[in-house]
Structure 1
């Protein structure tokens, strides 16, 4: 069976999440927002439906059981998608549910495509909370990450998917607590992602679920409050302060969120943080370059008799 054309060559990918570099570099891969349907010709789509309809199952009392070592479980597209990936991508709920039912607690549920996306990632991207719930109940591992280091919960926070977020967090487990503190490959935890994308209700829910409101992203040590100042988002600043954000937290450069207000337009953010920042932290810290120059003699600061190419 040749499945190389079933997905039209498009992938469901992730946007880079770094605030400062958000618009400065091209996307590593294109996000497919049409679930792939528009990328297929009618005859190709019909062939997928026919092939999925021919999957071999056998009845066993009131339960349907998959035939052991059925060949369709080994079939993948050139993008690494299994039949389960395809069923989720094309929102073929009936087929997806049949496959999930046959694969309870089977490693097949956790198969990752070439972008390391599981069916759970794709169900969140395509906004199918019912499929998300069924996958979790069947044993799909919510800790698995895609090629950007994102779990399914990271994806839900980036997309602002309240329904999928609710399903993914409905069980208060040790697994959920570890996911809440887990950074993706950009150094962002779920809370940072929700803050960057201005999903205030998700920010509140994440903190209530146990996310550390003062957690630092790993690139420069910014907390969500630092990020809110970077984004000049007054509502987010207020929300984080109400949730207990520490205004005196320092990033890796030694700056508080208040320090980041200098040179920015929103004077109200500056005023709010000034009143809450400790008196001894209000002054801007000296940079290393400034301190080095202060310690240099006049002779050391003057360059003379420089030769270049013998001149």
Structure 2
């Protein structure tokens, strides 16, 4: 996704007030350095004060119009002169000139990502400590969220290698992996999960956004089959229920008439009889939607045809005269405790 699309979306979103951007966590960094470094910072600070004023001006924000001014970003970098004098890197970091935030809560790293300046962003990632990488803007987005949203896998890789948080959630409760799964960004998702231990990745795979959806739910809802495969390979729980109605990924795939996703999930032993909060199984949904193909597929995978939902309905009760579906329910079967017993004549 191009930065212009992100910019338009960000301008349309309601911006929540955020008083703690995470920048306060950097105070401890400056207190541990020696006086000589601080003197160097003070000397360099006066040279970039004008640019800093421009960066934080509340009347004319640097990022108030994101299609403006990559030049403005370059001016800040040039004035700070952080890349021409390696000996002053820690001093500049110490003064937090580079971590000054805009009215939108963006650091210069956020801005570099937004403007898709990968060279600058990679240098900042190398320069900054982890605490800076995880600062969230007013939309609760970290630079990793933005790099993922804008489909910049190189920056995603750099941020992950430096230890950027995989669990940070934006204002919608989405982690960067949620964003990748929603947008179908397989390259970014691969970088977000590459060489990550199961113990570190598990909380991300289990995390639900504010709509109660995990990464697997989002990949299934958006029919991103390659991402479904990736998440299954990484150990995602196939039977986790979304938070509003208790649907599993299999329920969602059935609702979408997505035979490919249904097959993928059943192949990896998703629970064919998982019940929603109202008691409906995937077979209830398939029959209720008159989807004969998926109903047959579920039955071949061992779906229990006689399970009842909270309305005391079996899947057969929802067949509504569909002969092809009714053929799945032989009338010469005796049902004992919901299980068919073959009758011999």
**TM class, shorter-length:** 0.7 to 0.9
1:277 aligned to 2:271? no
Structure 1 match to 2:103:
78
Distance 1:180 1:164 in 2: 15
Distance 1:235 1:102 in 2: 45
Deviations 1:47-87 (A, max 9, x none): 22222332242323xx9545243353342222111100000
CA contact (8 A) 1:104 1:139 kept: no
How many residues are paired up? 258
**Pick aligned residue for 1:249 from 259, 274, 299:** 274
CA contact (8 A) 1:75 1:83 kept: yes
Structure 1 match to 2:43:
none
**Pick aligned residue for 1:145 from 142, 165, 169:** 169
CA contact (8 A) 2:70 2:115 kept: no
Structure 2 match to 1:108:
132
| 1:151-166 → structure 2 map (5 Å cutoff) | 151-166=175-190
Query: Unaligned stretches of 5+ in structure 2?
Result: 16-62, 313-345
Structure 2 match to 1:292:
none
**In 2 relative to 1, CA 11–145 (structure 1 residues): closer, same or farther, beyond 3 Å?**
farther
Distance 1:49 1:68 in 2: 18
The CA deviation at 1:137 is 2.0
Deviations 1:216-265 (A, max 9, x none): 11111101010011111111111111111111111110110010123424
**In 2 relative to 1, CA 101–142 (structure 1 residues): closer, same or farther, beyond 3 Å?**
same
1:264 aligned to 2:292? no
RMSD of aligned residue pairs (Cα, Å): 2.8
Query: Unaligned stretches of 5+ in structure 1?
Result: 1-6, 14-26, 31-35, 289-311
Give the TM-score normalised by structure 2: 0.68
Distance 1:250 1:136 in 2: 37
Q: Which has the larger Rg?
A: 2
- Identify the structure with the greater helix proportion: 2
Give the TM-score normalised by structure 1: 0.75
**In 2 relative to 1, CA 28–47 (structure 1 residues): closer, same or farther, beyond 3 Å?**
closer
Distance 1:8 1:213 in 2: 32
| 1:1-311 → structure 2 map (5 Å cutoff) | 10=7, 39-41=66-68, 44-57=69-82, 58-60=85-87, 65-105=90-130, 107-173=131-197, 174-275=199-300, 276-281=302-307, 284-285=308-309, 287=311
The answer to which of 80-89 and 70-79 deviates more is: 70-79
Deviations 1:82-103 (A, max 9, x none): 1000000101112112211211
Structure 2 match to 1:300:
none
